[in-house]
Amino acid sequence: MTGRTDDFYWDGLRRDELRVRVCDACGRAACPPMPGCPHCGNEAGTIVVASGEASLYSWTVCHIAFDPAFADEVPYVVGVVDLPEGARLIARVEGVRPDELRDALPLRVQWPARGADRERIVFVPADGADR
Amino acid sequence: MRWSEEVMVGEQPYRRAAIAGVGFTELSKASGRSVLALAAEACRAAIADAGLHPSDIDGVVTYQYLGDSVPAQAVAVALGMGDLAHTLDSGLAGQAPCYLVAHAATMIGTGIARNIVVYRALNGRSGQRVGSARTTGEAADLRYAAGLTAYPQTIATWARRFMIDTGATEDDLAAVAIAQREWAMRNERALRRTPLTSDSYFESPYVAEPLRAADCTTEVDGACAVVVRALDAAADGPHPPVGIQGAAYALGRGGGLDMADVLTWPDLSRNYTSLLADPLWKSAGLHPADVDVAALYDCFSSVVLFALEGLGFAERGGAGALVRSGATRPGGSLPVNPNGGLLNEGYLHGMNTVAEAVVQLQGRAGARQVEDAEVAVVTSGALQDGSALVLVRR
């Protein structure tokens, strides 16, 4: 624990859980984790485990790695995805050709193999075969 | 209501001030000089351009991003200024220039200061680069984990959603880049001056789809400054004073934990220009149809399309057609970024966007001069928040 407001989020990823903070007043979730609700300003919230479903809202195909850490991965797709719980998330989108990306493409979270990067969220098409 | 009606319709203090001078350093890929040396040179040039001496200056205002510049006090010392009545170091980035000019004008209009220099200085190519500087915090860590680490990628997600919601295409992005390159060829200061055709645009490699290299700003080392002083005093200066007729800043609800945090912003197809258009035009008592020249912040070509629609120059979904019609090119009905913009002149973080509007209204823009330019609109910023000015030749 680092005492940061997002500890619960990273702790969840280590357990293959996508955790979001839902506002106790308006019932909407928000990411990134923050000490209040950006929708209504209420302070109190409850941490819940999200379903892992999502819908593609926007995306970019990254052809250049501005951070050398990602140089071996280009081109890769970063998506802005909507969770049914009401939060948006930034995540990798895999298992789909860039020219098949479209608005509202149904997605589901795909957890990495043991030992892999536990901080990267990956979504794949909801109707796709397991990779 | 972001701005009360009573304040809006009244005579704003900033109307009593004017921009009197502008100054630049050389723009380059590697200045080989300190940021302080660049800042001092640009401020010295702007002060002289206004017909003043550094000892006449009693206010210094600047902005930076993640500590990439020098504070106002350093410039005051380096120029041997005397007692200062006002300084401000803003952490706002590209949203700042219009905001800070309006702020300086307000300080003058309320009698707090007499002559304020506003500057931006950075070794933005050879030193710390704005677009890919590492930010920290909850939002940054979340997007870094996914590989979204730089502004071109962030802006690309806005551009993609804009295309989905408005029907804009890559041809529309191309039209922005091509029109502004045509302007840049008339500006000796611009770093990119080779002709850009539709073919060469589409040969330009993708950086972050839908943005290509030709859609991205040219990072530079350099500095730019403007001097703001009382309107009546500026009237005796060497150049026609440029009055601040209207001003606005807006940050919408859910603006994110940092500039690149898009996750709480409800609509990535609309940026701050949609929010500040009403207060801006009301504060100025003018309308888009009154504008002779537009200096629109353009770190990326897509941002121009957002602003054209946000400010009301085009209907929703109409910005691309407006640009493709040739309206924003030399000789068009709505000249946009006659200096070639940040895309081509260079990324002085929007301070040069303000300076271009000023020299256009003063009638000293040389080969790129827009004929009879009397009213200009200027924007600062690309994303959730930003500022804008309506400037007029007095």
* Chain A residues near residue B153 by CB distance under 8 angstroms: 60, 62, 66, 78
A74–chain B nearest CA distance, Å = 10
Within chain B, residue ranges assigned H as helices are 5-9, 35-49, 72-78, 96-109, 138-146, 151-166, 170-184, 198-203, 231-234, 272-284, 301-310, 319-324, 341-344, 351-361
Cβ-Cβ contacts under 8 Å between A and B: the total is 112
Picking from A39, A55, A59, A66 by the largest number of B CB atoms within 10 A of its own CB, the best residue to mutate is A66
Q: Chain B within 8 Å of A46 (Cβ-Cβ)? A: no
| Mean pLDDT across A34-48 | 94
CA angle B225, B226, B228 (to 5 degrees): 145
Minimal-distance CA residue of chain A relative to B150: A66
- Please tell me whether residue A8 adopts helix, strand or coil conformation: helix
Question: Has residue B6 got a pLDDT over 50?
Answer: no
Q: A-contacting residues of B 205-264, CB under 8 Å? A: 205-211, 253-254, 257, 261-264
Contact criterion met (CB below 8 Å) for A33 and A21: yes
Q: Chain B within 8 Å of A58 (Cβ-Cβ)? A: yes
What DSSP string describes B45-85?
HHHHHTT--GGG--EEEEE-STT-S--HHHHHHHTT----S
Q: B-contacting residues of A 76-95, CB under 8 Å? A: 76, 78, 80, 87-92
- Lowest-pLDDT range, A37-41, B52-56, B208-212, B386-390? A37-41
* Chain A residues near residue B261 by CB distance under 8 angstroms: 32
Rounded CA-CA distance B192/B214 in Å is 10
The share of chain B scoring above pLDDT 90, in percent, equals 95
| Mean pLDDT across B275-296 | 98
Question: Has residue B295 got a pLDDT over 60?
Answer: yes
Give the global pTM.
0.96
| Mean pLDDT across A77-94 | 97
Tokens of A106: 């149904």
Question: C-alpha dihedral over B25, B28, B33, B39, to 10 degrees?
Answer: 30
Q: Please, is B373 exposed, middle or buried when counting C-beta atoms within 10 Å of its C-beta (0-12, 13-18, 19+)?
A: buried
* Chain B residues near residue A40 by CB distance under 8 angstroms: none
